[in-house]
Amino acid sequence: MKEKTANSVTQIRKKKWTVNRWTLLFMASLGVVFLLVFNYAPMYGIILAFKKGDYVIDIRKAIFESSWVGFKNFEKFLIDPQFKDVIVNTLCLNLLSLLINFPAPIIFALFINEVRNKTFKKTIQTISYFPYFLSWIVFGGIILNIINPQTGILSDLLMRLKLIDAPLNLGRSEYTWGVLIVTALIKGVGWGSVIYVAAIAGIDTAMYEAADIDGAGRWGKMWFITLPSIIPTITVYLILSISNLLNSGFEQIYVFQNQINLGASEVIDTYVYKYGVLNKRYSYTTAIGLLKSIISLVLLISANFISKKITGKGIY
């Protein structure tokens, strides 16, 4: 009897590792290898933040042979005259983006879910997704041509509508944050709503049927069924967004940045590129990157802790 049991267990174990399972294991292992090679292996370069590795040609020699300087590279950034402006621009832009651009895909997904005509619904979704697949170089170039005060159609249209008397120069510093927020919203709202549309599709339809019996309208079902059902998804993305408060998106800002709006558009990412990477100040840029990563980790842990205390939900 025991032999039969042992044989059956062995057969079950053999059956578990089918070709499909080995295929899935292989595909998962590729993702692990990718993370090890491109995310964890380069971490040895972090020691460059504590070494004298600026203005060198061979980075490997700077990492292994240069002298230790402690926290001097971090101090250089903290006492830099531009430090205050760079931090203020970075935080203000990301906080505004969190306030405006984070809820936009959620609202868009809720409204898309209420569209009953499938053809119209798919058309709207396709149009909203399209800008995401354009690079910031292409998309930003289109926007810059539109808002150009001399040749762009925006100023001409506003003047024809008699909303302005002279061409509007949106490249000036007082309009920079608004341009960045609006362009990021246009480019990302459609694609950002995909995950919320998928979460809404997974809601049990029996809940809506019960709400219909109780006499609930569209707004009532949206507010009391749809929105609460996707709260876990919203929570996860909110925590991740909070952890990225120091990441402004280099490509977008670099495209729209000019000498006129530099005071309002200089953020950590563009500062590191211009004053660190281009000048071969590798230790300096590594120190700033490490500082950003530590603060982002602290923000992630703090946001997750607060979320679990308030809502009982978090990433981990």
Is 225 within 8 Å of 207 (Cβ atoms)? yes
Task: Look up residue 109 and give its two tokens.
Answer: 């997904």
**Residue 100 confidence (pLDDT):** 94
Question: Which of 248, 265, 249, 268 has the alpha carbon at shortest distance from 170?
Answer: 265
Whole-model pTM: value is: 0.85
Quick one: which H or E segment has residue 310? Answer: helix 282-310
**Residue 45 confidence (pLDDT):** 87
- What is the maximum span of the chain, computed from C-alpha positions, in angstroms? 95
Q: Domain residues of the chain, as ranges?
A: 1-36
172's CB contacts (< 8 A; 6+ apart) are: 260, 261
pLDDT tens track, the chain, 316 positions: 545 555 555 555 555 677 888 888 899 999 999 999 988 888 888 999 999 888 877 788 888 888 899 899 999 999 999 999 999 999 999 999 999 999 999 999 999 998 989 899 999 999 999 999 999 999 999 999 999 988 889 888 888 888 888 888 888 889 999 999 999 999 999 999 999 999 999 998 899 888 888 888 888 889 989 999 999 999 999 999 999 999 888 899 999 998 899 889 999 999 999 988 888 888 999 999 999 999 999 999 999 999 888 888 788 7
- 54 pairs with which residues across the strands? 281
**Residue 94 confidence (pLDDT):** 94
**Residue 179 confidence (pLDDT):** 94
Q: Give the integer Cα–Cα distance in Å for 276 and 41.
A: 22
**Residue 13 confidence (pLDDT):** 56
Question: Which of 226, 233, 235, 223 has the alpha carbon at shortest distance from 195?
Answer: 233
Put residue 249 in one of left, alpha, beta given phi > 0 → left and psi -120 to 50 → alpha. Answer: left
CA angle (145 as vertex; 248, 161 as ends), nearest 5: 110
- DSSP string covering 40-65: IGGGGGGGGGGB--BT-S-HHHHHHH
Q: Give the integer Cα–Cα distance in Å for 42 and 36.
A: 9
Mark out the alpha helices in 148-261 (DSSP H runs): 153-160, 173-192, 194-201, 205-213, 218-221, 227-229, 231-243, 250-256
- DSSP string covering 60-83: HHHHHHSPB-TTHHHHHHHT-TTH
